[in-house]
Amino acid sequence: MLALSSTVTAFNGPAAPLSGFGPRATVSMETSGISWYKEGEGKIWDPLKLASTPEKFERLRYVEVKHGRIAMLAVTGHVIAASGARFGGELANGVKFTSITGSGYAALSQLSTADYALILGFIGFLEMRVMKVVPGAPAPYMPGDLRNGLWKEGWDMLSDKDKKSKINKELNNGRAAMMGIFGLMAHEAINGKPYVINEMLGWGQPY
């Protein structure tokens, strides 16, 4: 559901203001680091005028990257669960993971209140304690860079061109995933058949 709230920011266009990545600057706790917004540089499709300042632009880009990542995980999880893959072990009240059928809403409807509480608690823990910029850590390379000075070798060995390419690929894949999970959720809510392409090809739903 978090992915759905970012559909507005998903249409800011490609990451045009990447030219040279700009100078380092401090704009906010989440996105301190690269100044991605330069007056007169690049073109940003912003019909709602949401990115009126560099700070707002970097905040929106951070949210877009974050929700794109959530959506990519959501689509992957939906497809894997629909394939029938399950963890070992049990949920609350002794319910086995293997007894949960389907994916998406169909699977969620079989969970208990305790299961929902565990899911939300884990998400909250990640949000507040893990997936954030740590004060005192090196400035992020881009909005959404949460390495906090770790795992530098692979990224730092890339050229600026390759970095731009990978950043744009993540943005585009995240945008596609936001639309993808929205489509899966919408179609499942309408008629219980999220995989529309399967129906078009005569394959039926995977569950």
pLDDT per position as a tens digit, 117-159? 999 999 999 999 888 888 888 888 888 998 888 888 888 888 9
CA atoms within 13 A on the CB side of 175: 14
DSSP state of 28: -
CA angle 60, 15, 127 (to 5 degrees): 40
CA angle 46, 75, 179 (to 5 degrees): 30
The model's pTM is 0.77
What domains, with CATH codes, occur in the chain?
Answer: 2-200 (1.10.3460)
Task: List, in order, residues 6 or more apart from 166 with CB less than 8 Å away.
Answer: 158
Digitized pLDDT (tens) for each residue of the chain, 207 residues in all: 333 333 333 334 444 333 333 333 333 434 334 444 444 445 677 788 888 888 888 889 999 999 999 999 999 999 999 999 999 999 999 999 999 999 999 999 999 999 999 999 999 999 998 888 888 888 888 889 988 888 888 888 889 899 989 999 999 999 999 999 999 999 999 999 999 999 999 999 998
Transcribe 101-115 into DSSP letters: -SSHHHHHTT--HHH
